[in-house]
Amino acid sequence: MIHKKYPPRVQKTLKTLGQNINIARRRRRESQQQFAERMGISSGTLKRLEKGDPGIGIGHLAMAFLALGELHRLDNILDCSTDELGLMIDLEALPKRIRTLRKPPSEVTTPNMVKIDRLPPPNPEGVAF
């Protein structure tokens, strides 16, 4: 098996996350075996998770959060409403000026365009052809 080398910052962050999971489990007075059973994984996989092994699947991480009663915390990771860099990029991409059309789009027609007042009734069988 080929092991990918992760940058030191990633390794440190995963190790810290694993330590935090370990502390949260012990605060709840659960053994590794009990906690692993509630997560539906082996105790060896839990040990790897608590050591910060980058090969642990995200599903196992989510199950750890669920078993700790903290699954809602995953909802807030990279929340687009708090993505400062993304919001700045969006702000910079806004148009400088907004131009209005002289005629509303409903009044603009081309020579070959037919104006339809209403849509045809829906097909009761749901077939589009």
Q: Are 71 and 65 in contact (CB under 8 A)?
A: yes
User: How many whole angstroms separate alpha carbon 42 and alpha carbon 127?
Assistant: 50
Whole-number pLDDT of residue 111: 58
Domain 8-71, what architecture?
Orthogonal Bundle (1.10)
pLDDT at 9 over 70: yes
Whole-number pLDDT of residue 117: 58
pLDDT averaged over the chain? 85
Q: Which residue has 């994984």 as its token pair?
A: 41
pLDDT in tens, 50-105: 999 999 999 999 999 999 999 999 988 888 888 899 989 999 988 888 888 777 66
pLDDT in tens, 65-78: 999 999 999 988 88
SS3 (DSSP) at 84: helix
Predicted structure pTM score: 0.66
Domain extent listing, the chain: 8-71
User: How many whole angstroms separate alpha carbon 44 and alpha carbon 94?
Assistant: 51
